[in-house]
Structure 1
Amino acid sequence: MKLHTLSGYIQFIYLIEDEQGLLLLDGCSRADVKRVCSFIKYELKRSITDLKLIVVTHMHPDHAGGAHKLRATTGAKIAAHPNTRNWYAGMSGRTAHVIDVMLTWWVAGRLGKPKRKVWYPPLLQPDILLNDRDALPDYPAFQVVYTPGHTNHDISILHMPTQQMYVADLVVRVKGELMPPYPLCHPNQYKQSLAKVAALNVTTLYCAHVPPLANPSAVLTTMLKKAPTFPKNHWYSFKGRVLGKLRSKR
């Protein structure tokens, strides 16, 4: 089994290769679809239909944006937590979806990347639903760990033989400093997720926006100290700005 790390539009892409096929540890962004398919065809010298399973850790554009297009192109199945299906539902959900797409472009601009196509369907249609402690279909060495906080449906993927873990956005980097993610919709759940991962005694954390972390215990302890008490998301940020302006006028 081999782990291939690709540089995506705004995140790292992790592709697992073995004899039976290929496993993509997250759904990438819509802008990454050609990159993934080209890597499979020209670097690995394999058919794109060898991609068998796409895990979506949560619904943000750089984690779910390429899933439907990759499935249509390769025939792979999509696996995700049940709550992914409703994350962008309703008027407030559609608004959040638009904001998240715009934030993707903003991050890309900060990285010096041009604006690319990242729009994707806001409602995921997974083939397989994953719950806490489930083994990935056809990949029994990989176990699902439910790690909400960033959203209500985040999952991480633990490779049990090596105790290495892909945690997506559990840890990010802001101005060179490791930080909890934004948005952080459920701070109490986030703290519980940190404690849950710490209890697993993981050897290495693989993140979507940070190079592999070889000292997980110290990192998780630091994130626990930095975790906010109240939610940090689009609505709370907007409300905070409005209230701040109203107070300044008094």
Structure 2
Amino acid sequence: MTIPGFDDWQIIHTPGHTDGDIAAFHIPSKRVYIADLIVKVKGKFIAPYPLFYPRCYRRSLQAIESLQPESVILAHEGEINFSDIDFQHLIDSAPSKPVTHWRSVKYKAKKVFSSIS
């Protein structure tokens, strides 16, 4: 879908991190802004936290990869060459279950209570 009045921009629904995430692809320059779809931590590209919709997240990564952009613009990292990101590794290593604050708290509480017993 393009933005009315900005026909050189395409909007892509990229849920995963949240259900309302979007990416903006500038068609002439082949640059895509993906917000927090991917984050860089300790020099590595990883899935964001929290990640509410793992299956949607994988599909969103595949959608961005299929664009074959020249570069990818991350919210907290800036512009990265597309070839510097291993999308297949991100897809393969993406969590299979939601990774959320609530699940983290539940997991830690279970661990504490099981060590007391």
TM-score (normalised: structure 2):
0.91
CA drift at 1:220: 1.5
> For 1:201 and 1:217, how far apart are their aligned partners in 2?
12
> For 1:146 and 1:167, how far apart are their aligned partners in 2?
10
> For 2:30 and 2:77, how far apart are their aligned partners in 1?
18
3-state SS of 1:246 partner: helix
Are residues 154 and 174 of structure 1, via their aligned partners in 2, closer, same or farther at CA, if it must alter by over 3 Å?
same
User: Which protein, 1 or 2, shows the higher relative CO under an 8 Å CA cutoff with sep ≥ 6?
Assistant: 2
Partner of 1:176: 43
The structure with the largest alpha-carbon Rg is 1
Percentage of pairs with the same residue: 32
The AA in structure 2 aligned to 1:135 is T
The AA in structure 1 aligned to 2:112 is K
3-state SS of 1:213 partner: strand
The AA in structure 2 aligned to 1:182 is Y
Partner of 2:5: 138
**Equivalent residue for 1:201, pick from 68, 92, 107:** 68
Counting strand residues as a fraction of each chain, which structure ranks higher?
2
Are residues 136 and 181 of structure 1, via their aligned partners in 2, closer, same or farther at CA, if it must alter by over 3 Å?
same
3-state SS of 2:79 partner: coil
3-state SS of 2:78 partner: coil
> For 1:215 and 1:199, how far apart are their aligned partners in 2?
11
- Equivalent residue pairs, number: 117
- 1:1-250 matched pairs, under 5 angstroms: 134-216=1-83, 218-250=85-117
Structure 2 gaps of 5+ residues are none
Are residues 192 and 217 of structure 1, via their aligned partners in 2, closer, same or farther at CA, if it must alter by over 3 Å?
farther
Please identify runs of 4+ aligned residues in structure 1 that moved more than 2 A. 215-219
